Amino acid sequence: MTLIKSISGIRGTIGGVTNENLTPLDAVKFAAAYGTWLKEYSNKEKLTVVIGRDARLSGEMIQSLVISTLVGLGIDVINLGLSTTPTVEIAVPLEKADGGIILTASHNPKQWNALKLLNEKGEFLNAKEGAHILKIADEERFNFAGVDDLGEVIINDAYIDIHIDQVLDLPLVEADTIKQAKFKVVVDGVNSTGGIVIPKLLEELGVEVVKLYCEPNGHFPHNPEPLKEHLGVICEKVLEEEADFGIVVDPDVDRLAFICNDGSMFGEEYTLVACADYVLSKTPGNTVSNLSSSRALRDITLKHGGRYEAAAVGEVNVVAKMKETKAIIGGEGNGGIIYPESHYGRDSLVGTALFLMLMAERGGTVLELRNSYPSYFMSKKKIELTPSLDVDEILSSMARKYKDEQVSTIDGVKVDFEKSWVHLRKSNTEPIIRIYTEAETQEKSDSLAKNIMEEIKEISML
């Protein structure tokens, strides 16, 4: 069982021993640390925090603990109940709140949950702010409010509709154009909140929806990470229903993957490529993705006359680089679309609408669209961390070994070869080393990953 404290928030498995898992005491401690930091950071007399959660089984319990803790600190809470990560992100500034917490472990299996922490802009905290909160939690220096100064809880269940309306109001989203295309789409909501919001958005856009695992009961029918090996059922369903394509989201709806009309994977790396292709065709500009994302975004950006840059992995890092370069769209190759015209957060609702517009205007099939893009093939492997593995030494050794290639060490080690690359880094969300490779064929990508894993094994045995 595991407790991970990182730039992605406080994430852990439910049950077990305190300080090693996300137990009720740990949820209270980290909520109290966030509330205490917020009081120092904002320097306001009365604070408000927006709370939302995905549908995982522990969500209601963790939500009750977090809300009660904030109320005990004298902070008012706007409770959105079942929601999505991007919905909470847009709600924070709309409510003029001082921060937000999303209770979700994103793509992790059902035994996990997490506190994702937001600032007053509805954006993730940076590393320095996160480190300060962890320090407060370690010191347990909390000052709770007296009985006359407790916070209040306001329930607001309107934000899914508000979020959908915001997407429909985007200048590059034309509902009538999408309605005229008469799409039929299969949606896999992994029995979380995506099963509520994605079908609702599609129906507003005149799309015929076939629902698959759209009951938000928290019983994930398959591993909730939207990868090919987990998505056999929807691939078959798209063919069976003769649908135009399929949509898959993770439990908190910030990752988006498509299934082609022939039941094959569009490729989560190409979600951002396709959405960027549409946006750049209307509003030329710059793009950003992280170091573990496909080169295809760079190619599409250059085709449209823009400039592409890579950021360290982590949404906050991508957002910072997007602001620095004035990027008009960006995100992560895991299917995360960040479109500043809406907000600075990964958003599957926005990505869905942009993709529908691209398909409606371009015509043809989703498979034809996929085949029109530069072909790169990725391999995504991982090595479980053990006490005997010295991650820093492994990364340093790999950087030294490939010093004659183009090497980046801003986030782990990335080595760019002429026609391929490899990125090694310690995960922010799981106790693993991630090994991502990309090449011109799947065989070459897999072979590169295999060779790198063998080299790591040799280093760890020294």
Q: Which one of 8, 58, 83, 106 is the catalytic residue?
A: 106
Q: How would you list the strands of the sheet with 99-103, edge to edge?
A: 3-6, 9-13, 112-118, 99-103, 48-53, 76-82, 153-155
Tokens of 184: 């039929």
Q: How would you list the strands of the sheet with 184-188, edge to edge?
A: 208-212, 184-188, 245-249, 256-259
106 is an active site residue: yes
Residues 6+ positions from 389 with CB-CB distance below 8 Å: 383, 433, 460
In this structure, what DSSP letter does residue 230 have?
G
Tokens of 212: 């698959």
**How far apart are the C-alpha atoms of 358 and 121, rounded to whole Å?**
29
Of the chain, the end-to-end C-alpha distance in Å amounts to 28
Task: With beta carbons less than 8 A apart as the criterion, state whether 173 and 167 touch.
Answer: yes
Q: Is 432 helix (H, G, I), strand (E, B) or coil?
A: strand
Task: With beta carbons less than 8 A apart as the criterion, state whether 381 and 451 touch.
Answer: no
- Which are the catalytic amino acids? 106
